């Protein structure tokens, strides 16, 4: 027994072990996100769920910022921070919540992994960066996989607009990442995340009417799920992921994120008794293989997988 305890203590003190544990924590948090959304939608409207989730996250991050300290934003940067908050928080999570009304948690977790595909398209069409033939093959393969997931989540061959909303959320995150990457020199990581969350939450205040009534009517189990959603995937996971990126190779760390969809499917099978269709599983394999191949090739799109967003 003493030998085992010494081994555990030795493992816990190892820098590599801390990185692995932090990455595992991130995977669990972000895999929980679609499950938490699914549970939250049982009692909350999509707009109200997004607002209450990020009111919790904003409050938590205010405490973190108070302890760790962040710089005040420059007045000229306020419009930029508002736009970042719109794409990373407001549009992203409104699209996710409305989409998950009819999309299973497992399928949603797969579609959310399509962010690097859209990042590559934005790099080509908006930023005028060169995209090689290999990248085009990966993007087209990934989009094909996403189409399989969208059409096969419920009944194969049926195109559901709710699945397209999840892809809109992935596109929104891609826009945020492209903008954040170009302006990341202005503030450190914690400061940028805090102001992005706070500005996005401010924009979500349009959904404030009727929120308190839903909070009071929601079952305690739903409110607990929403509380977890606001603290873990929306706040703590970002601090843990920042630690992973700061202490490990970005490309290697990003590969661990591809464990999120199968983890989410496993968690959904336990928490929601949800069984993914065979087409969703096939689509997941196509999407993850395409995105992994895209990020294993030397290209600027590699970084997009490592900065997966506010899931």
On whether residue 6 sits in a domain, the answer given is no
Taking residues 254-258, report their average pLDDT: 76
The residue behind tokens 């990966």 is: 138
Residue 2 lies in a domain: no
Gyration radius from the chain CA atoms:
19
The answer to whether residue 5 scores a pLDDT higher than 60 is no
The answer to whether the beta carbons of residues 35 and 264 sit under 8 Å apart is: yes
User: Which residues span the domain enclosing 68?
Assistant: 18-306
Query: Closest by alpha carbon to 73, among 162, 202, 161?
Result: 202
Element (H, E) at 207: none
Distances from the Cα of 142 to the Cαs of 44, 277, 294, in angstroms? 32, 18, 9
* Residue 306 exposed, middle or buried by CB count within 10 Å (0-12, 13-18, 19+): buried
Q: How many domains does the chain have?
A: 1
Residue 305 pLDDT grade (very low, low, confident, very high; cuts 50, 70, 90): very low
Q: Is residue 1 part of a domain?
A: no
Averaged over 24-40, what is the pLDDT? 95
Q: What digits encode the pLDDT tens for the residues 60-98? A: 999 999 998 898 999 999 999 999 999 999 999 999 999
* Cα atoms in the Cβ-side hemisphere of radius 13 Å centred on 157: 0
pLDDT tens readout for residues 186-236: 888 889 889 999 999 999 999 999 999 999 999 999 999 999 999 999 999
Whether 43 is covered by a domain: the verdict is: yes
> What is d(CA 94, CA 217) in angstroms, rounded to the nearest whole number?
21
Is 12 part of a structural domain of the chain? no
Cα-based distances in Å from 7 to 4, 10, 11, 16, 23: 5, 5, 6, 14, 21
Contact between residue 178 and residue 126 where contact means Cβ atoms under 8 Å apart: yes
Q: Which residue reads 């914690």 in tokens? A: 190
- Tell whether 159 is covered by a domain: yes
- Cα atoms found within 13 Å of the Cα of residue 33, Cβ hemisphere only: 30
Give pLDDT tens digits for 266-292.
Answer: 999 999 999 888 999 999 999 999 988
Q: Decide: residue 75, CB within 10 A, 0-12 exposed, 13-18 middle, 19+ buried.
A: exposed
pLDDT at res. 3 = 47
**Lookup: tokens for 103:** 């999309």
In a domain, 105, yes or no: yes
Q: Is residue 183 part of a domain?
A: yes
């Amino acid at each position: 027994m003493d030998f085992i305890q010494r081994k555990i203590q030795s493992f816990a003190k190892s820098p590599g072990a801390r990185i692995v544990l932090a990455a595992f924590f991130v995977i669990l948090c972000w895999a929980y996100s679609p499950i938490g959304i699914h549970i939250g939608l049982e009692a909350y409207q999509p707009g109200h769920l997004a607002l209450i989730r990020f009111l919790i996250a904003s409050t938590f991050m205010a405490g973190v910022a108070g302890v760790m300290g962040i710089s005040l934003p420059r007045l000229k940067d306020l419009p930029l921070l508002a736009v970042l908050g719109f794409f990373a928080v407001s549009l992203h999570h409104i699209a996710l919540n409305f989409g998950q009304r009819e999309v299973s948690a497992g399928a949603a977790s797969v579609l959310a992994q399509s962010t690097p595909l859209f990042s590559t398209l934005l790099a080509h069409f908006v930023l005028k960066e060169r995209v090689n033939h290999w990248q085009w093959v990966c993007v087209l393969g990934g989009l094909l996989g996403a189409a399989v997931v969208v059409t096969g989540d419920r009944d194969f061959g049926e195109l559901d607009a709710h699945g397209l909303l999840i892809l809109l959320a992935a596109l929104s995150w891609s826009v945020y990442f492209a903008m954040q990457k170009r302006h990341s020199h202005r503030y450190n990581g914690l400061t940028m995340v805090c102001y992005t969350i706070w500005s996005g939450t401010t924009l979500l205040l349009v959904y404030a009417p009727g929120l308190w009534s839903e909070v009071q009517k929601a079952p305690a189990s739903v409110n607990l799920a929403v509380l977890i959603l606001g603290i873990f995937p929306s706040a703590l996971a970002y601090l843990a992921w920042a630690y992973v990126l700061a202490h490990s190779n970005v490309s290697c760390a990003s590969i661990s994120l591809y464990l999120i969809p199968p983890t989410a499917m496993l968690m959904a099978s336990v928490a929601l008794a949800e069984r993914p269709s065979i087409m969703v599983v096939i689509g997941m394999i196509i999407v993850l293989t395409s995105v992994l191949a895209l990020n294993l090739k030397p290209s600027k799109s590699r970084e997009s997988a490592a900065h997966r967003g506010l899931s």
